[in-house]
Chains A and B, each alone.
Chain A
């Protein structure tokens, strides 16, 4: 308790630390989206022709679609023609071969964020594919991964070097026209990570990426594709911070996971985009499509997320349980403070026999935050003995916030056992009183109780993320405590 409490004490009342703008000359397209923009993006990346056609198809479908209205979210309509779809740090044109070639200002940025790349190399077990706006600037630990045959590179590089692999899997889990935001992403995605873990390989380190939105008015459209071949294992970490700014920025990413027979993918996210100020000005609009497919028997996909940032979070990491006895897991902590809104949850689609899924969702609402859990558990007719357990708890802090739970259960097989439970409550006066009389300040007591509330999710996170997540929670709750 000690160290965390101290950190929170320091951090309360402080402005968003990650809010600064790096002054780098960016090469930015004027705002607007049409086929020319897509052609430019594709040419810029020297993409194979099939990708350009795929983008066009997605764009055409997107033009016919309308933004989804069903979420429990309120925001002004987004003007998609007012967004610039490409921004690259210009000094990075030819691609750095090593850290020495990276723009020192960029390195400085990472230093401020607390992830100095030099130290990252020394830090055991973490390889970073850092994305600075749209172009990948540095990739570490590649050699070590190459030894065991793991491919971990920017998606554009994978398109150049492993086009067949990308072609086979890209869009196979999240089709180009899956939904409005996925279609937009498919049309204009500019960067992202690609991971391929060969048969039987246990990835020797946690793979990590650090996304960051920088240039003004630039939406970021990453696309991540992770393939775990038979019997392999990979753990992937994703973390986000973004600079402070007054305009709402759009973030529409797509993440696709494919787990073959006996393979396991663990995907962890700590999301800390700029949430807007106390009046709800600014902040990131985060519309993300994340989905994994358990393609073979005994495959397992596990999503863990800690969502503390963004003005709007619209995100439903899902698992398609196609293989027999495959397993899907979803662990989530979502926190909304001030004017933040989150509509997040998961979809578990049971297709194969003996499939099982677990959903643990913890929502915390403070200030005027609105927090919604929305989840679907679907058991198809052939999914004999499917098993699901869902638990969605909400914690309310303050009388102007809201906590909502919208689970959908669709069951077409009589041998399925599906359980959903949800509870909403506030921090008990008796719990607070107990902590206070043991000498804790009210703030520390609340933080401790909130961390306890989220423990089931935090223990699923890799070590370094768990520490960061607890700190983030403290920062995000500032002003709500007491």
Chain B
């Protein structure tokens, strides 16, 4: 009749009689701080269920910095695997004074025999743990499923190199002989790409003779990659630049070519199919159909364990292509060169994985005369809604005249906001800072960004006001550094994502860093010396983790689970102990970062 909470798995796999046996069969024990509960090599006599306190799982063979394998808190079980294996492989040590229920070995075995799903649960978690461990070891913390570890060098092929003076006829012969689709043309120090299509066009469209040299028709602006990069990045590059080949360069010399078809044989994912559909769409209807498939793509990528950063990059590239394509459908060509459509907010940072809402604005060249602009922009917003981007609740959309203006009036507004420094102005500055041009003439946005940096990056008072928002929400950690566990969950967006994004944004504003994605900004800040590389990396990982947790909730929502719950809220009790552990560390990073911000911008007393 002891107060054991048996409402969690694996005890839910027992029936009431089984739970009663657990209740009647457990003992209680107290462990002091730093007391070793179960040492490596000791036979497992009990399954431990923590009632209160925290226990660390250590691998005594590793150096102390990396020896912590697991972390258990109230409600977690440990020691079951030691019983199954006969002896404990690791050392369990109480990190705080811990009160544990001890389930004797005999009873545990008995329960396993009577309730096969109960025994199955532990076998599963054994293999689950083993997998986690190998993954950690394989990549030093980078969690990626097998094929995602593929590097470009594993997939590239030897390039066919020819001199610039080679004739078209000889090039065709060489291609046929090697059964290749493309070749590299060397001219002096430069290399150019030449594909079969280029050859065809040269012969038919331009009417060149078969004897003319290939140097004139090769493309010397190459999309390149290095052999050590992940294959996935090559795919992102291809999607972004709409090409089918990437040249692999090492030490300034091309060492290989990655062809799209080769990459596809590596990835059986649907990413290419979707992006292909987007590219091939020549009507709005087709675009809508392609766009509707992106959530499916996200799920496929997540299910394959693709690292969130790459998934975000790919999705950002895809979303950009969809919006830009819609723009070309809707807007007359003569206006396109003199206007710039920018996406802002999470979309601008390239961190919008599922389509949450549209934040966009339009910059017009000063001398552009565009009759009927208002109606066209209304229609464009409607189109985006059809494409699956819900309208922005804050009405930051091109259909709102406040977000459509000529370059000079944008600059004026910006000045006004920087002067005013009230909440609304600061928010607008933050939104504009994340702007990313997706269609039209990006030079307009660049000019606006230059103005923004010129006005704001040396204004200490503005920066301090700007940074303050990052401290607005408290980090959901208790005084003792463990996670808060309210029933309704902790708000991961306010507690984790927002402070990182906004703090990094502030630093980027101060240093005039142009990339808009938080991870790219972090890299730039590290290169700039504003942050230590190590800290920037950790912060990036923390952000990725928080985003991933949120994404999981959003995906679950798509499947109709947890209906009516706020997707920003993560219920700590539902996480696995590993996730909980990671989240705790991530929030500590956030806390640390906030402290640095308040020191840098003197926010201690505000």
Partners in one complex: no
Which residues of A are in contact with B by a Cβ distance under 8 Å?
none
